[in-house]
Amino acid sequence: MNVFEAIDSRRSIRDFTGEAISEQNLKTILKAGFQAPSAHNLEPREFIVVKDKKIIEEIVKFHKYAKMLPQAGYGIIVCGDTTKQDVLGFVISDCSASIQNMLLAAHGLDLGAVWCGVYPREHLIKGMTDVLNLPEHIVPVGMVVVGVKDGGPAAIDRYDESKIHYEGW
């Protein structure tokens, strides 16, 4: 799949077969996360892979919009290291770029994935921090839920000329 095809056809997948994905595919997705740009090239991101059913159940208890996680089987929590980048806005931007790269990588592998937001919801940040034993300088930004997809929505075209401005508003 070329990059334009991937960008155009990616959708959030919330139905999964529950089948395992290979270590190789998991690594490919993580590698895509590392390849994202970051402000000042500081790369303030860390990735926590969760597959353990008990940990997954703990996450689902506090994250009501991540109910697909147990069936997907895999969550990758993208966290920012505030000692590497002290501007929080950049930490969030950098982690978000990694998340989007991983969504596209999963799609390119014909897997399903959905971005589950964490930051800036206080209870989600606390939930992740407690369940994953995150140190104080690590902020959980978002979770990529990934697995073998069981169908999914069709591609949509969101291009909108009316939202494009030239040389100013």
Residues that bind ligand FMN (CB under 6 A): 11-12, 14, 65-66, 114-117, 153
Q: Which is nearer to ligand FMN, 154 or 164 (CB)?
A: 154
Structure tokens at 117: 């937001």
Written as six digits, the tokens of 64 are: 């009501």
* Length of the chain (residues): 169
Nearest to ligand FMN by Cβ — which residue? 117
Quote the least distance from Cβ 80 to ligand FMN, whole Å: 14
The residue among 47 and 115 lying less far from ligand FMN, judged by its C-beta, is 115
CA distance 111 to 31: 15
- Nearer to ligand FMN (CB atom), residue 23 or residue 154: 154
Minimum distance between the CB of residue 62 and ligand FMN, rounded to whole angstroms?
12
| Minimum distance, C-beta of residue 38 to ligand FMN, in the bound complex (Å) | 18
DSSP H or E stretch at residue 94: helix 88-108
Dihedrals phi, psi of 93, to nearest 5 degrees: -60, -45
Minimum distance from residue 168 beta carbon to ligand FMN (Å): 27
Between 34 and 65, CB nearer to ligand FMN: 65
37 three-class SS: coil
> What does each C-alpha distance from 131 to 58, 135, 165, 169 come to in angstroms?
7, 11, 44, 45
Question: Nearer to ligand FMN by C-beta: 138 or 143?
Answer: 143
Rounded least distance, CB 115 to ligand FMN, Å: 4
Sign of the dihedral through C-alpha 51, 54, 58, 60: positive
